[in-house]
Structure 1
């Protein structure tokens, strides 16, 4: 028992090291964007998240069951009093005391311990999976907050730009080169952007609440977000073969092994049980008689054997175990297909985000060139404020799309890391 418990804890320590390597893999992108905040947030979430604590408690319960199964059946004690005292040569029998202990077949308790240990190993994978998912959720929520902040910054810049255009328009109205309608259009556009800014601020608060709850802390705590995320110059190498070692798939392997241990236990429990006991009968002395065994009590050691003659239960359990193993194999294959599809979709989406970012960068440069041309036109005395609004709207669109491309890149990177690191 102690040996197996130590083995379980040894596996626990191995998983702890594995978790550390996993965390480093996820934090690679954090270091890449020169942010220490996300690393701190992830560590805080891993330490405080109630779901992780729930799975940790479940694992501790499963480990403690090793002590539960290392026991023998209850010792049976019985007592009886002879209402009608049977007479024997040595005297009348008064009462009877019995004790009996059944012992499982050789190796049964060891099989129980092995089975419970395999269940504890499978349960620990829930902790590993939950930690991976938590790291992914925290990272993705962080990138949502970054994108929201970046969009707010862009909107504020564009609102200031429109204020500059409004000043130009007012000056043009004074000299008769623009109409008041142009000014109103610019002001209406500013109002629309101010509304978008207010919506983003509310969305940021909602996402901040989600982020704080992942860390299991007060929803109103302000989250510090990096100012700028850069699109990496090249994609990082992805080892897709690591998908086969994903803990969601390893859990099925451990469940399969636990069914094997369950069958071994089933075979042991279908074996006979041996019982050892002792009967004590109190004998009263016969009066007016003198012989050597007069009133001698009876002590009778006993051995019993419990044989499961009607063993349909154990045969049925064997069939169930075989079917359960088949079910686990099908579940594993189904989950592998799902994860593989998710992985290659994330890879494709990340490549697409880089392409989109490059296109938006080109479009934004051309839009700025067009803006400069319009400004120079003002110096010559002519400017079309409808064109100004169109160019400004395009610039905003390209800037927002750039932010979305960067966010998508990092969001898909967290999925790739979840599946391959």
Structure 2
């Protein structure tokens, strides 16, 4: 029995210096996700569409062309009219096209800012998802080791029982602990499969692609909390609403400009036949007539409604900006709380782990075959494993909060 207890002690002493079997830099996962995530691709396509709308907004309406042939010629002094060609171009009121271009450009930039925010959020989600896998793998590793040690202890206890050196209750106690851990191990494995699918979904690759996590402490992505004050007014989520607000202002201006007349210029070209009954000046000479026209917006109700709609949009975007700012501040406070809690837990469980190991050494050195002492040794052994797991959970919590803060500061 003492030999196997010492094996457990050696395991605890060497757990932190295990070699890393395989490691994939999380930065490579992030780059892969940004390049392949379908949601991000869709947002990029949406931005490209918005940029094309800028070209549409500053374009003039299509010119109109018409041609007509007189069934019965109309006689004029210089000849009979045979046909007439007309071409015209309408122009909106001065400044209208530039205003619409500004509106479309601001809308496109707002979409681009949302794309940048989605990219930063994807980076955060990939980091968090990867950390979830790291934590579950750590739990699986520790649980397997605990089962292995309990199996050795069970074997040794059975031998001692057969030789009347211990009670059957000691054997049963070890078996109960082992069965509980085997059940937990199965739960962790199921959970890991779900987490792996979630991770691969972010990367848009085969859902069952294996993800290797480090076995040492190299899972630490960030070192410390950002010291610089985060300016939420400059965050992409806030600036996006600001650009939409400005876009609505230009849309309102464009709606007002639509209440002014549209100006059209054109040209009529009349084809004349020569007179045969007499010879006159400019006989048969085709006629050219420049024209100007106005499109008068008599029915202004629709324009007034458009102005009102854009004024309401401005109020909406302003309210959403304030709401978004409040949400960012809340998210930062939650991340800060998680960071501080993780740091406290990390320190707490490091202290408890040190004391538990000292207690375990004392108990194991004074081990007796009594049931009470036997349970105390095993319970202390369980506490050491639990504290190791809790310490890693605290470290993962700190890393997740730092990933959140990095996103909020982007």
State the TM bucket, normalised to the shorter chain: 0.7 to 0.9
**Is 2:391 aligned against 1:402?**
yes
Displacement of 1:306: 2.0
Q: State TM-score, norm by structure 2.
A: 0.85
Q: Distance in 2 between matches of 1:180 and 1:54?
A: 65
Q: Distance in 2 between matches of 1:325 and 1:247?
A: 18
RMSD after superposition:
2.6
Equivalent pair of 1:229/1:406 in contact (CA under 8 Å):
no
Displacement of 1:335: 1.3
**Is 2:167 aligned against 1:179?**
yes
Q: Distance in 1 between matches of 2:153 and 2:357?
A: 14
What is aligned with 1:120?
108
What is aligned with 2:93?
105
Q: Indicate the SS of the match to 1:323.
A: helix
What is aligned with 2:258?
269
What is aligned with 1:78?
66
Q: Indicate the SS of the match to 1:226.
A: coil
Equivalent pair of 2:170/2:371 in contact (CA under 8 Å):
no
Displacement of 1:54: 1.6
What is aligned with 1:251?
240
Displacement of 1:294: 4.3
Displacement of 1:159: 1.6
Change in Cα spacing, 1:206 to 1:286, as seen in structure 2 (3 Å) is: same
What is aligned with 1:227?
215
Change in Cα spacing, 1:89 to 1:381, as seen in structure 2 (3 Å) is: closer
* Bigger Cα displacement from structure 2, 269-278 vs 81-90: 81-90
What is aligned with 2:288?
299
Equivalent in 328, 333, 337 of residue 344 of structure 1: 333
**Is 2:206 aligned against 1:218?**
yes
Structure 2 portions without partners, runs of 5+? 1-22
What is aligned with 1:373?
362
Q: Distance in 2 between matches of 1:234 and 1:89?
A: 95
Render the CA deviation track for 1:6-56: whole Å, top value 9, x for unaligned. Answer: xxxxxxxxxxxxxxxxxxxxxxxxxxxxx8711121122122222222212
Q: Distance in 2 between matches of 1:214 and 1:381?
A: 54
Change in Cα spacing, 1:171 to 1:293, as seen in structure 2 (3 Å) is: closer
Structure 1 portions without partners, runs of 5+? 1-34
Q: State TM-score, norm by structure 1.
A: 0.83
Superposed, 1:286-325 pairs within 5 Å as 286-325=275-314
Q: Indicate the SS of the match to 1:86.
A: strand
What is aligned with 1:200?
188
Equivalent pair of 1:159/1:193 in contact (CA under 8 Å):
yes
